[in-house]
Amino acid sequence: MKLILPLTLAAIVASAALPAQAAELAPEQQAIHVLNRLGYGPKPGDIQRVTQMGVDNYIRQQLNPAFIPLPADLVQRLKALDVQDASAGEVLYEYQSALKLTKDDSEESKKKRRELVGRIVEQTAEARISRAIDSPRQLEEVMVDFWFNHFNVFSGKGLDRALVASYERDAIRPYVFGNFRDLLGATAKHPAMLFYLDNWLSTSADYQPRAFRRNAVQGAKAKANGLNENYAREVMELHTLGVDGGYTQKDVTELARMLTGWTFEPRELVRNNRSFQFDAERHDNGSKDWMGRHIAAQGQREGEFALDVLAMHPATAHHLSYQLAQYFVQDNPPAALVDRMSKRYLESGGNIRAVLETLFKSPEFMDDSVLAAKYKTPYQFVISAARAGEMPVTNIRPLLGTLSQLGMPLYGCQTPDGYKNTESAWMNPDALTRRINFATAMATGRLPLTKNLDEGDKMGKRAMERQADGADKPSTQVMAPLNAQNLMAALGPGISARTRDVIAGNPEALRAAMLLGSPDFMQH
């Protein structure tokens, strides 16, 4: 490890003196670029495969993932995760059953509760991680992560721990390439979002609670609190118009009134899997003046109309286009590209796939100046390391622990704006050291990624504790170390000649760790 840090810092300084790249990217450079931006980096052989098929064909294929078959092993692994196939109501019932065990302070009850809740959490995470690592539908997995952050909910808030799996499966994944209005509506009506931003409790000022509101719900307080503006504010500021979208505080309040009655009842979700309901008695039936429009009382239709307007507003087109360009091109995307994407958004009626096509076909996307211009988030870093090393990950707990150590726990962003994807959000000395520690542990076979869950969990926690303490002493090797030569071949032109030369001058046992800990690998 003492050899890796100097390499990292030296390479950062040296990279500033490198000559400018040629304007035209070579085929292999184009291949590594699309593998890094449309996915989580190459697996062994991917660069050669994409080079052979051509980046245009690869992009076209990734935009139509239904035609890409999933590996049989991944399909079987996902089938074994019964939480993934269970309805939101079924998982919520299991979660509530676990919480009821808190009434019994016996060690056996506590253990059972931990097992039940842990099963829900772990299977939800395993489905996401295993897809990100092994699915050939890489752009689909990237867009699931992008839109989840855009419409973020925090799994640590009460019932959302049980609802996140359904939220991602039912409200995010089916719509990642579709019409934005459909995605907006699906997230607005899902109980995970209704619960997270408290719209399920939002009522008119004169609402009198019905009897069912007195029914206690494990993990939630079923109490109507009058008008709640949380969702109305975030749906305009974060989900659609953007902070500079031209709305006022009055517009927030009026939209909140239009959305009263959009709710769910946990007991109905458990009994009948009824995930959304419009409660007319909770709705504010007065007229509203919103965004320069007079809105007459129309019940649920008021909220639907508001989402229609927000989805196709020019400010929304610009806000979404900017965020997509920032994610896929560079932290400060070119204004001309954002404008073209915004125009395509409005022309296509909010078709996400059409906007992505405009982005990926743009000269800005394939310009040599944006090659490796993005700094990987902790999630991108961890997933790309597992892919590049082609790690047989059957125990995800060490990876989840690493994400937490790096400040990006899966489904763990508490604020509604989700995780950032810019360099300024993640580049700092402490995080860099933790990344290098992870790279060293993975490359030297000291992360228990293929152990059974109980044993792997204990070893993974010890590994994370060592990372947190900055300890240099290696833990017990539990897997075969990565082959540096194979890793270098998998990453191809993603590793510069300068970094290759420095690594070649170090012992073979350190080279794989130096690759994963290098600045080249941390960029994409």
pLDDT band at 471 (very low <50, low <70, confident <90, very high): very low
Which of 1-5, 243-247, 293-297, 363-367 is predicted with the least confidence, judged by mean pLDDT? 1-5
Residue among 461, 331, 361 at smallest CA distance from 404? 461
Statement: residue 377 has pLDDT above 80: yes
Q: What pLDDT digit, counting tens, does each position of 241-285 carry?
A: 999 999 999 999 999 999 999 999 999 999 999 999 999 999 999
Chain length of the chain: 524
Statement: residue 357 has pLDDT above 80: yes
pLDDT band at 109 (very low <50, low <70, confident <90, very high): confident
Say which residue, 469 or 519, is predicted with more confidence: 519
**CA-to-CA separations, 221 to 149, 159, 166, 196, in angstroms, rounded:** 26, 10, 21, 12
pLDDT band at 103 (very low <50, low <70, confident <90, very high): low
Statement: residue 351 has pLDDT above 60: yes
Whole-angstrom Cα distance, residue 311 to residue 306?
Answer: 9
Mean pLDDT of 437-463: 75
Mean pLDDT of 491-510: 96
Statement: residue 456 has pLDDT above 60: no
Which of 51-55, 469-473, 515-519 is predicted with the least confidence, judged by mean pLDDT? 469-473
The residues near 485 (Cβ < 8 Å, ≥ 6 apart) are none
Statement: residue 12 has pLDDT above 50: no
Write down the pLDDT at residue 223.
57
Write down the pLDDT at residue 10.
42
Q: Do the beta carbons of residue 297 and residue 241 sit within 8 Å? A: no
Write down the pLDDT at residue 30.
97
Q: What pLDDT digit, counting tens, does each position of 280-322 carry?
A: 999 999 999 999 999 999 999 999 999 999 999 999 999 999 9
Write down the pLDDT at residue 8.
46
Paired sense of beta strands 277-278 and 288-290, if any: unpaired
Q: What is the DSSP letter of 17?
A: T
Tokens of 158: 């009460």
Q: Do the beta carbons of residue 373 and residue 523 sit within 8 Å? A: yes
Statement: residue 2 has pLDDT above 50: no
Mean pLDDT of 74-83: 96
Statement: residue 18 has pLDDT above 70: no
Write down the pLDDT at residue 391.
87
Whole-angstrom Cα distance, residue 387 to residue 381?
Answer: 10
Q: Do the beta carbons of residue 446 and residue 515 sit within 8 Å? A: no
Q: What pLDDT digit, counting tens, does each position of 191-222 carry?
A: 999 999 999 999 999 998 765 444 445 555 55
Mean pLDDT of 377-387: 98
Whole-angstrom Cα distance, residue 7 to residue 391?
Answer: 24
Write down the pLDDT at residue 499.
97
Write down the pLDDT at residue 210.
64
- Does the CA dihedral 514-146-195-167 come out positive or negative? negative
